[in-house]
Homo-oligomer: A and B are copies of this chain.
């Protein structure tokens, strides 16, 4: 008997593996985590649009976290928006959490601004700019804490979802992927339809120069690559993958920002393959300016990319229609949480129900009612 995926979920890559993993956790109980973090990379003008201004990008993670937990933001005014008034993807994440009643926890991977909510601390600190060539401290501590937390969550849940809210994270992801030699060209995404690819490349190359390394030099030392060029959501999430995937499936929620974690996990413990899959969005996988699929070809052909088939084109709200024009695409685990909601509800939650709940939440956050 074969397991058939519902229309709300799509797969790129190894479909058989996706069906195998999903069939094992279908209708079961997961736990969702979102790790907030910063490097100062996002404050370099032009790098990140995850925030209305470069300075406000430092508030995006903590504000997303407050919104998920409290349904409102207290560390800044309003919810995080991209320039043009496009609301944070946390609206979709919150819809998925509301409908599924999945337990959720915020991890402070290392955020410059600490949100006004309880967070799980893992000893991380906000990082420096990627072009310094040495972004992070305390990598080993956060990595070890991640392993402990991953095992702890896997003890009591049938699957674990990880995710991130870290502005500038595609640039640090690019740097780590290049340092590991996973890719040799710029294939990462952006929350803007005008992906500033040259700027990102130049910053990473400046970082490599400052660190005195070339592409691929840290192929065998992913933790060193993360310490020099990564962001603080990476070590803890890498640890969670390794700690949890020994016991239960792990859904790696997010876009190309999560690629270095998958590359590093496969390098450090190849046995995770078979128990991990990416959980993302249709928007991310259909982005013409990046290619998660191509990146994955260099990581493993046995880590499926499972996406939620959300389509905002018929939404009455321009701020949501913008997702169809290439804005946002991913973040705050909106893809992973939605995929998890479909799975844990055994298909009872679908894209239609998610869209209704996103609309309800959108009207509240945009004060339209």
The digit string for A207-239, where 1 denotes a CB below 8 A from any CB of B, is 000000000000000000000000000000000
**Residues A102 and B156 in contact, CB atoms below 8 Å apart:** yes
**Residues A69 and B148 in contact, CB atoms below 8 Å apart:** yes
**Residues A145 and B118 in contact, CB atoms below 8 Å apart:** yes
Say yes or no: is A26 at the interface (Cβ < 8 Å to chain B).
no
The answer to whether A148 and B70 touch (CB under 8 A), given A29-B29, A119-B121, A120-B119, is yes
Interface residues contributed by chain A, number (CB under 8 Å) = 26
Q: Give 17 pairs: A residue, B residue, CB < 8 Å, sorted on A.
A: A70-B148, A97-B155, A102-B156, A103-B103, A103-B155, A103-B156, A104-B152, A104-B156, A105-B105, A105-B120, A108-B121, A117-B148, A118-B148, A119-B120, A120-B120, A120-B121, A121-B121
**Residues A103 and B31 in contact, CB atoms below 8 Å apart:** yes
Say yes or no: is A292 at the interface (Cβ < 8 Å to chain B).
no
The digit string for A119-130, where 1 denotes a CB below 8 A from any CB of B, is 111100000000
Say yes or no: is A340 at the interface (Cβ < 8 Å to chain B).
no
**Residues B122 and A155 in contact, CB atoms below 8 Å apart:** no
> Could you say which residues of chain B place their CB within 8 Å of the CB of A155?
97, 101, 103
Most buried by B among A29, A117, A145: A117
> Could you say which residues of chain B place their CB within 8 Å of the CB of A156?
97, 101-104
* Nearest-Cβ distance from residue A117 to partner chain B, whole angstroms: 5
Say yes or no: is A354 at the interface (Cβ < 8 Å to chain B).
no
Chain A residues 128 to 169 lying within 8 A of chain B, measured CB to CB, are 145, 148-149, 152-153, 155-157
Give complex CA distance A108, B121 in Å.
Answer: 10
The digit string for A237-276, where 1 denotes a CB below 8 A from any CB of B, is 0000000000000000000000000000000000000000
**CB-nearest residue of chain B relative to A146?**
B118
> Could you say which residues of chain B place their CB within 8 Å of the CB of A153?
103
Chain A residues 69 to 123 lying within 8 A of chain B, measured CB to CB, are 69-70, 97, 101-105, 107-108, 117-122
**CB-nearest residue of chain B relative to A104?**
B156
> Could you say which residues of chain B place their CB within 8 Å of the CB of A122?
118
**Residues B121 and A152 in contact, CB atoms below 8 Å apart:** no
* Nearest-Cβ distance from residue A336 to partner chain B, whole angstroms: 16
> Could you say which residues of chain B place their CB within 8 Å of the CB of A118?
107, 120-122, 145, 148-149, 152
Give complex CA distance A29, B101 in Å.
Answer: 12
* Nearest-Cβ distance from residue A105 to partner chain B, whole angstroms: 8
* Nearest-Cβ distance from residue A49 to partner chain B, whole angstroms: 29
**CB-nearest residue of chain B relative to A142?**
B118
* Nearest-Cβ distance from residue A79 to partner chain B, whole angstroms: 17
**CB-nearest residue of chain B relative to A102?**
B156
